[in-house]
Amino acid sequence: MDVQAYKDALLRKKAEISGTGGIKPLQASMENNTRQGDMADQASGNNEVHIALKLKQTDAKILQAIEEALWRIDKGSYGVCRDCGEMIAEARLNAIPWTRVCIKCKEKQNS
Ligand SMILES: [Zn+2]
């Protein structure tokens, strides 16, 4: 696995989030786009400040996950699912380099 490529992607994302003050829904991961879409639908008719606040919280969570991922790269345990200990599929890491769990565990969380 080319860990350096993931590290670069994580550092870029981190700079993007912290450098712009956060709100960049178009460049968020597909996973987050879906969630933001859902929230926007649910919130339609509500005030937009509420949505902006939610996006901000999402960014803060991603930022924390990025820090954890960088830490795991240093420790040599990057790409291992936090819940089941299996390797996370590279396609998933390419889409969401800061993910903590594999797709199976993620689906379990959602169900
Ligand atoms: Zn797992």
Give the pLDDT confidence of 34-86 residue by residue, as tens digits.
Answer: 555 555 555 455 677 787 877 788 899 999 999 999 999 999 999 999 999 99
CA 87 – ligand 1 centroid, Å? 8
Ligand 1 centroid–CA 106 distance in Å is: 7
Please, where are the H alpha helices in the chain? 3-20, 30-43, 48-75, 90-95, 103-110
What is the band of 1 on the pLDDT scale with cuts at 50, 70, 90?
Answer: confident
Query: Residue 29: pLDDT band by 50, 70, 90 thresholds?
Result: very low
Where is pLDDT greater, at 18 or 75?
A: 75
Return the percentage of the chain with pLDDT > 90, whole number. 57
